[in-house]
Amino acid sequence: RKEVEQDPGPFNVPEGATVAFNCTYSNSASQSFFWYRQDCRKEPKLLMSVYSSGNEDGRFTAQLNRASQYISLLIRDSKLSDSATYLCVVNRPTGGFKTIFGAGTRLFVKA
Amino acid sequence: NAGVTQTPKFQVLKTGQSMTLQCAQDMNHNSMYWYRQDPGMGLRLIYYSASEGTTDKGEVPNGYNVSRLNKREFSLRLESAAPSQTSVYFCASTGGTTYNEQFFGPGTRLTVL
C-alpha cells in the first residue's frame, strides 16, 4: 500500500461543475499537508497548504481530517484552466522530514 | 529572482554514456532535491541534500550520484545511462522546515536509447 493514495481519476467535468478530490495517508506522524497542481509537461507548483481547521482560497477549499487521515480538495465553478493533475503531498518528521507525493489525479474540464 | 533553474531542458543519450544535470536556486534555501517522474508513478525521490555539505539517498538512488557544490547548486550525475533512466527529472528546493513548500525547476526530459 502506498503511503499517500489519491483517487485514480481522470475526472471529466463540464465547466461550472463542482469537483472533489480525496487523498488518504497511512502514517499518523504526518505533520503537514499540501495540494500541488501540475500542468501537462510542466513542474508541480503549490496550490495551497492544508490546515487543520480547513482553508479556502477563492474557488478552492481544502480540508484535513487527522482522525481519519484524510485530505480533500474541493473546486467550485470549474474553469477550463483548472484542467491539470492535482498532487496530494504529505510531510512527516524523520529526524528532519520526508516529503511524500501522491501519484496525482487528472482533471479535465470541458466546455 | 529566477527561482530554481535546470539545465539542460532536453537530452538524448545512448546506453552507457554519462551526463550531469545541473540545478541552481537563488532563494537561499537550505534543502535541495532530485526527483524523477514516470507515467503513473508520481514523483520519486532520487537524492536530497538537507543542507550544504550533506547528501542522502532517497527512494531510487541506484545509478545516480549527486554533488552539493555550494548552497545554490545541486547536480545529478548519471555515470552509465540505461534505458530505465528515461524519465523527466525535477530539481526542487525548500527553506527546510516541514511547513515549507517545495519550489521546482522546469525539469529535464531525458531519453536513453
Cell numbers linked to A80: 477550463
Q: Is B34 left (phi over 0), alpha (psi -120 to 50) or beta?
A: beta
Q: Measured between CB atoms, does B10 come within 8 Å of chain A?
A: no
In contact, B4 and B89? CB cutoff 8 Å? no
The yes-or-no verdict on residue B96 having pLDDT over 80 is: no
In contact, B1 and B27? CB cutoff 8 Å? yes
- The percent of residues above 90 in pLDDT, for chain B, comes to 83
A7 pLDDT band, cuts 50/70/90, is confident
Residues of B in contact with A87 (CB under 8 A): 42-43
pLDDT, tens digit (0-9, with 9 covering 90-100), for A63-91: 999 999 999 999 999 999 999 999 999 99
Interface test with A, best of B98, B99, B103 (most A CBs within 10 A): B98
Name the nearest CA neighbour of B44 among B26, B27, B62, B71: B62
In contact, B22 and B108? CB cutoff 8 Å? no
Q: How far is CA B81 from the centre of its chain?
A: 15
- The percent of residues above 70 in pLDDT, for chain B, comes to 98
pLDDT, tens digit (0-9, with 9 covering 90-100), for B39-94: 877 899 999 998 898 999 999 999 999 999 899 999 999 999 999 999 999 999 99
The yes-or-no verdict on residue B109 having pLDDT over 80 is: yes
Interface test with B, best of A99, A100, A105 (most B CBs within 10 A): A99
**Interface residue ranges in chain A relative to chain B, Cβ cutoff 8 Å:** 31-32, 34, 42-46, 49, 87, 91-93, 96-97, 99, 101-104
